[in-house]
């Protein structure tokens, strides 16, 4: 049984490493900020989750599982919020090419709140 758990832990670590590698390749290959954010946050979060689960399965001690559970919870709470904050600040700074947006709901919300883009912004 321990050999099976060790194998499962190793496979989870490998899967997590491949997902993190995919996030790194996305950073280099994707052209604009929003597609980079989308391509980085999704596999990176799943990669960290897989690595953390692999560590918990490999170590199999109660304190290691508790620490890994804390890491999982913090990662799931902070990564989506950080991605949203970065994308909203990039939008307000004019770093987003609005011509390529299919739906732009943020412009309506910002207009209602009194935020006005300067003429030299996109």
Q: Tell me: the pLDDT tens digits for 39-53?
A: 888 888 999 999 999
Torsion angle, CA of 23/19/49/91, rounded to 10 degrees?
A: 20
pLDDT of residue 113: 85
| Residue labelled with tokens 């790194």 | 24
Distance CA 56, CA 66 (A): 9
Q: Model confidence over 48-100: pLDDT tens digits?
A: 999 999 999 999 999 999 999 999 999 989 988 998 899 889 988 888 888 87
- Cα separation, 68 vs 72, in Å, equals 6
pLDDT of 107 strictly over 90: no
Q: Which residue has the tokens 């060790």?
A: 6
Residues 6+ apart with CB under 8 A from 62: none
* Per-residue pLDDT, 66: 96
Structure confidence at residue 121 as a pLDDT band (50, 70, 90) = low
Q: 12 near 68, Cβ under 8 Å? A: no
Cα–Cα distance, 41 to 35 (Å, whole number)? 10
Tokens standing for 25? 């390749």
Cα 64 from chain centroid (whole Å): 24
């Amino acid at each position: 049984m321990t050999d099976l758990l060790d194998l499962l832990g190793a496979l989870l670590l490998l899967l997590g490493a491949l997902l993190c590698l995919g996030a790194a390749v996305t950073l280099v290959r994707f052209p604009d900020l929003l597609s980079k954010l989308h391509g980085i946050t999704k596999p990176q979060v799943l990669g960290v989750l897989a690595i953390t689960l692999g560590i918990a399965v490999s170590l199999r001690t109660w304190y290691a599982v508790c620490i890994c559970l804390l890491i999982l919870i913090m990662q799931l709470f902070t990564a989506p919020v950080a991605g949203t904050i970065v994308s909203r600040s990039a939008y307000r700074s004019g770093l987003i090419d609005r011509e390529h947006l299919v739906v732009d709901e943020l412009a309506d919300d910002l207009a209602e709140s009194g935020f006005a883009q300067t003429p030299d912004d996109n």
